[in-house]
Structure 1
């Protein structure tokens, strides 16, 4: 990955999906409706952001980077956030928690396989590639320094136990945009890194639970009675990837019906929500800062865009103290 690739990856907000809340449902009958996740915005204290908020913050950040780069004589390209794409990403991330969705299994089978090919480059990425290709090596180096700061500068280092260390620049247009958007950039960077790294420890806690193991064993027994011998849904998905579409759909439906019958995904959702609460209890400062700093930034942007006589460019509303 080139430095410009790394810069673009950092500039995109870490758009992580949130845990689902368990809703009451009948798990004894395959014809019962699948449990529906509670919308993120409706859950007090949730560690995710509604798609609309994520889009607002992401577009504002990119606009700030664009304007900062323009003041230094460079172009910066970005695509406006697609809400439908954000929602699709969240649905894909939450798929493992809703393997009892029989209607979806009938429509889509097991869905995209983990590690499916990444999407093609966006229009903005292609514009950037063409733009950088037209710059001299010296100007390209200057563009990278304008974006990410000088080499050797102090960096914000956030170490997450069991996950690793994430570094954030403290100079350049990327850092300037975050400072203007969130105010206390260093506090926001720590909170954002921790919250978006929670999935691994949460998932590990769930997988170690005796209740999870027992629910998965019940599911395995159920699908075995139907002539399918798998110990986990991952095994079933791997098998489906080798089948013709109609056979893969049939297998997905059978496993989803068993899942709903024995309550495997219902158990998974309950344990996932519990493990997420445990994570927040272990990291109360980061969880509170994530909620507060994002909410304050979104409120400032919303107030700016609804002010009388506003000229649309919400990103140019500075954060307090900037």
Structure 2
């Protein structure tokens, strides 16, 4: 099935999604989340597999595109690449695997935190060109159609340790997520909580005596190899001023020490436990996140395995001036 064909098929299925999802939720027990990719670190099983994330992202954008077209606007999106999502997850958990010696030989300390931003995607370039040729009033109307008008009621989610996060209740994104997940507000609260967990989890880890002790053992080990660093962050900062070969040699030396003293092993164990503790403090949000995503993904997977009877014709909406 082609991407544009899949997008149309997703739109056809999801037109009645809220009713379908509600009925299933009432008639059967909550479905477990899809099994995570075993190759990646996914603490607490709150990371959806890359294929599932890509499927849901494309479904949401297809629905947004259809919603915008019905209001006379174009909306552009690129098909989501699961490989890019897997790489994104690996970067997020990079510091949990600083004992990966083979990776250190290949990649050193990895990309710097202040790496140059990625260039605009094809869809972003299309959107920029499209909006540039619209008059100001139409551009404002496009934004209102997408995210809802100013002054709308907003869903406010108070996330401990993060603050209050607000989300629109109107516009094509809100409509698309309602179609996709059924209970938009419940999904949104769950999704916001789950994706805001990283800061409190990491704070719990780095503040623990076990983490500090493991890092001190690591510091002693690297000092014995001729490097005076208190933390891996210090070593990474030093590597940024070295040649590639020197930076890789330093990364390998620190990774060997990490493996010897069990620093990353301790980090992973603490991170997993801190995530479990976070889930226990927020059981409703964690359960809703898993259930609503799993239910939507299961229906989309069933749909996209069937042949598409619709001819593959262009779907872009002509600009409206």
Interval of TM-score (by shorter of Structure 1 and Structure 2) = 0.7 to 0.9
Q: Does 1:187 align with 2:183?
A: no
Corresponding residue number in structure 2 for 1:164: 163
Show the counterpart of 1:318: none
Partner Cα distance (1:39, 1:158) in 2:
33
Give the match's secondary structure for 2:45.
Answer: coil
Is structure 2 residue 75 aligned with structure 1 residue 86?
no
In structure 2, relative to structure 1, the CA distance for the partners of 1:309 and 1:240 (3 Å cut) is closer
Matches within 5 A, 1:194-233: 194-233=193-232
Distance in 2, matches of 1:216 and 1:167, equals 38
Distance 1:266 1:300, change over 3 A: same
- Contact kept in structure 1, 2:40 and 2:90, CA below 8 Å: no
Higher relative contact order (CA 8 A, sep 6+): 2
Partner-residue secondary structure (3-state), 1:216: helix
* 1:310 to partner: Cα distance: 5.6
TM-score relative to the length of structure 1: 0.83
Partner of 1:252: 251
Do the aligned residues in 2 keep the contact of 1:109 with 1:252 (CA within 8 Å)?
yes
Secondary structure of 1:294 counterpart:
helix
2:8 is aligned to none
CA drift of 1:38 comes to 3.6
Shift of residue 229, structure 1, vs aligned partner? 0.3
Conserved? CA contact 1:215–1:264, under 8 Å = yes
Give, in whole Å, the separation in 1 of the partners of 2:225 and 2:166. 50
Kindly report the root-mean-square deviation, in angstroms, between the aligned alpha carbons of the 2 structures: 1.9
Q: In structure 2, do the counterparts of structure 1 residues 114 and 308 end up closer, same or farther at CA, with 3 Å as the change threshold?
A: closer
Residues 131/62 of structure 1: CA separation in 2 closer, same or farther (3 Å cut): same
Q: Distance in 2 between matches of 1:236 and 1:254?
A: 10
Task: Give the equivalent residue in structure 2 for 1:319.
Answer: none
Q: Deviations over 1:24-83 (max 9, x none)?
A: xxxxxxxxxxxxx9446999x611100000000000000000000001110000000011
TM-score by length of 2: 0.83
Change (3 A) 1:115 1:68: same
Task: Tell me, in whole angstroms, the C-alpha distance in 2 between the residues paired with 1:264 and 1:294.
Answer: 34
SS of residue in 2 equivalent to 1:168: strand
Tell me what 1:239 maps to. Answer: 238
